[in-house]
Every structure is written in structure tokens, then in C-alpha cells.
Amino acid sequence: MFPNARRKIANLKKNTKKIQTMVVSPSFQLKMFQNRFRECETPEEERRILITECTFIRDALRSHHFSNANQKLGCLLKLMYIANLGLVETPKGEIVIMEFMCGKSFENVRIACLAAMILLDEKNDILLLMTNALQNLLNHKKTEYKSMALNVLANIGSKEMCSELAFKVVNLMASTEMLIRNKASFCGYKIVRKVPELADMFFETFGSFAQNVENLSNGVIMSNINLIMELCKQDEAYRRHFKQMIPNFCRILKREANEPFLQVKLMKLLTLLEHDSPKADPELVKLLMSFTVYKTFSVACKSIAPVYEACRAVLELNSGEFDRKFVIEKLDKTVENVHESLEKRYTALSILTTAIKPEQRHIIMCLNSNEYKINSDLRNLAARNLAEPKQQRPSVDSFEMATTPTSPHEKDLAMLFGIGEVVSRANNVPMQPANPNDPEAVLIDLSDPDYSIPFLSK
């Protein structure tokens, strides 16, 4: 008797709580809204609560029925929470954001800047009114306000806003505070991407960069490298100027042994500066080759990422034949090693595509040759790439073994290098899998006009 009564009471409490959750009116408190949302049992119920909250917030913002500033703040917090969920379209709350951004309270200004980056974008008309507020924050004497203004400008700044505030950002790039200098450099990188006409203004800030680079923090160096790479992509004259600073960048690369992110970024910059040289700088190639081994006496790698980036840089530069052969053999061993992790094997395989791309035109030209010897060598090349490394190589006449890859390594080679189509075109027959019911088989129909060679497609 008593257990049944207790069960009925528990069910009654549960149903009562559910009914209260469904009919309770929205409030300005974020915590109460989160609790109601987490108690939903179905996606339809979640969507209904979100639509109800958005309607309540929209009506409150239009009618301005707020008894205090905390209610406005609660609406803004709920808007950011709903926007991060991404389930329904949320009101923007531009007026509330502007009101808090122009306020004196640091907490309100911080929340307003965060809400602006989450809820607004470059197409909002309110950004024209927000320009003056950001300018006041950039002129503030406290570092925190300048930092928040730079974040907003870098994320949602429109072309007009960037053009008006670019001079302020250039002045902050010479600040003695590393935090402001770091964010100002990154903001300058975003401004140059949006407004290429302002590249000259930021290029002038690198007059003493080579002399002071030893005294900068790693974050500031990375932000400046991003800006330098964007300037080099904008104009060839900028790239020729920064090419003279390659020895300085090499010294930083040798010095920063504990920063893999900075090492990778420096290698990308050096590759961009040196990629069109008839012969790469021997000192640069020697430094990159020292990274291809995990640890040397001159350079220590704390991560595997600089090793692969160094391999990529050596293959992209006009380095020596011995260096390229050494890197390709190292990557080939990584791909064939089944005991290596999938991430390492996939990265090595993607870098190997860089090595084959310069030769792909000549390989495809061999398909049009009428010489039997050339076609035979091409078929042998395709068969060797698709066969198991430890098994017997397939002969020229037995391509059935090569048409169906049996390992992830072979599948990646077939898809990335297009070896399967090379084989079938050399035989002048459509490529068919050994077992059509096998989902692991490579299904390629050469009669399909929409099909293209994988490594030739963009």
C-alpha cells in the first residue's frame, strides 16, 4: 500500500514540475533559463522554449520594460547563450550592446564587446555608430579596454571602420606593452586582409623590426609574421624587402626550440620568401634539414609538427637532389610503417603529394605515348605504388591485384595520386574492382564525363 502511494506521489510531483516548466513565464535570469532548457526531453520542446525566450527578449527590447540594468544584462547573456546553441535565429540587441559599450562599468563593457563579436557581423549598420565607441576604448589609459577594442575591431570590423581606426592600430603596434602590441599586430593583419589599400601604412611599422626582433615575445613575433605574410601576398615589392631579413628569421628559428607553433609559422614564412629562388639558400636548407631529424645538437624539436613542416618546406624549395631524396624516403617510411599513428601517416601522405605534383604533368604525358616501353614503365610504376610493400610486386599483365587496394595506405595513394586511373588508361580498359560487392574496392567509371583525375582537380 505504502509503496504504491509513494510512487503515485513521485509521479505527481514529476508531472507538476514538468507542467510548471512548460507554462512558467520567461525571466531575465540566465540560470533559470538554462535549467528549463536542460530539463527538456525532446528537441521539439527545446525549440519551443528557445522561440518563447527569443520572443520575450525581442518584446522587452522593443518596449524597454526594464526596471534596472541587470535585466538588460540578463537579456544580453541569454542572447549569447541562444546564439551559441545555433538552433534558432536570435535578436541582435544592437542598442543594448551600444549602451553597455559606452558605459563606465568594466564588467558591462566586457560583456558588450563579447556580445558584439558573437551577435554582430560586418554587415550590421550599427557598426557605424560603434566606431566612436571603439575609438574611445582605444584611447583609454587602461590596457584591458584597449585589448577588448582591438578584439572587436579584428573580428567584426567593416571596411569603413577599419579605414577610420587603422591609424590608432598603427600607433598601438609600437606600444611597450606586449599584450597590446600582440593584439594590435594581429588586428593589423585582419585590416590588411579586408582593406588592401592600407598595406603601406602597416609596412612602415617594420622599419626597426629586424633590430628589435630579439627583444619581442613569441606572441608578438607570431602576430607580426602573420602580418608580414599577408603583406608579401599583397605586393611583390614587400616580399623582396622582407627577403633580406631571412638571416634574422633563421636566428629566431634556431633560438625558439620550445615553441612549435612559432617554428611552424617561421617555416611557412621562409618558404614564402624563398619559393621563387633558382636555388634555395644553403644555410636555410641546412637549418630545415636539421629539423627533419627529431633532435640534433643545434636544434631541438619539442613536437612532431615542425618536423613535417620542415619536410614540406624542403620539397617546396629548390633544394638539392640529395635533400629531396632524403625527405621523400623519410616520409615513405612513415607511410609504410603500420605501427605509426594514423595522424602521422596521413600527414606524411599529404606532404608526399607536394613531391609528385611537379612531375604529374610528365607522368600524364606518358599516357599519350605510342611507345610500348614507356607505357610498360608507367604501368609498373602504378603497380608498385598500389602493391603491398612486403608482398611480391605484381607483374605488368596482372593488374587485378592492384585494382582493389587492401590497406589504408593503398587507398590513400589511389585517391590522392590517381594511380587507379593511370593503370586503367594505360591498359585502355575501364577500371573495375575485383569484387563489385566489396565496399572497400575502388569504384571508378571512366565513362563518366564528370570524373577527373584526383590530383589534377583543384
Mean pLDDT of 74-85: 88
What one-letter code names the amino acid at 339?
H
pLDDT at 245: 86
**Position 285 pLDDT exceeds 50:** yes
Return the SS3 of 169: helix
What would the pLDDT profile of 88-123 be if each residue is shown by its tens digit? 888 888 888 998 898 888 988 999 999 999 998 888
**Position 137 pLDDT exceeds 90:** yes
**Position 217 pLDDT exceeds 50:** yes
What would the pLDDT profile of 227-257 be if each residue is shown by its tens digit? 999 999 988 889 988 888 888 888 888 876 6
What would the pLDDT profile of 291-346 be if each residue is shown by its tens digit? 877 544 344 455 788 888 888 888 888 887 888 888 888 888 888 887 778 888 88
Which residues fall within 8 angstroms of residue 71, CB to CB, at 6 or more apart? 28, 60
| Max avg pLDDT among 91-105, 175-189, 398-412 | 175-189
Q: Which residue has the higher pLDDT, 379 or 160?
A: 160
pLDDT at 170: 92
Mean pLDDT of 381-405: 42
Mean pLDDT of 148-153: 93
The pTM is what?
0.70
Question: What is the average pLDDT score of the chain?
Answer: 74
Q: Which residue has the higher pLDDT, 140 or 297?
A: 140
pLDDT at 384: 56
The rounded distance, in Å, linking the Cα atoms of 82 and 90 is: 7
**Which of 234-243's residues contact partners 24+ apart within 8 Å by CB, and which partners?**
234/192, 234/196, 234/199, 235/199, 238/199, 238/203, 239/272, 239/273, 241/203, 242/206, 242/273, 243/273, 243/274
Return the SS3 of 93: coil
What would the pLDDT profile of 61-73 be if each residue is shown by its tens digit? 887 766 677 788 8
pLDDT at 409: 39
**Position 280 pLDDT exceeds 90:** no
**Position 410 pLDDT exceeds 50:** no
**Position 142 pLDDT exceeds 50:** yes
pLDDT at 375: 66
| Domain coordinates in residue numbering, the chain | 369-456
Q: Could you say which DSSP state residue 456 is in?
A: G
| DSSP assignments along 141-168, one per residue | SSHHHHHHHHHHHHHH--HHHHHHHHHH
Quickly state the pLDDT bin for 206 (edges 50, 70, 90): confident
**Position 196 pLDDT exceeds 50:** yes
Quickly state the pLDDT bin for 215 (edges 50, 70, 90): confident
Which residues fall within 8 angstroms of residue 147, CB to CB, at 6 or more apart? 179, 180, 183
The rounded distance, in Å, linking the Cα atoms of 317 and 88 is: 49
Q: Where are the beta strands (DSSP E) in 61-130?
A: none
- Number of neighbouring beta carbons within 10 Å of residue 209: 17
What would the pLDDT profile of 11-64 be if each residue is shown by its tens digit? 655 554 443 433 334 566 788 888 888 888 888 888 888 888 888 888 888 877
Quickly state the pLDDT bin for 386 (edges 50, 70, 90): very low
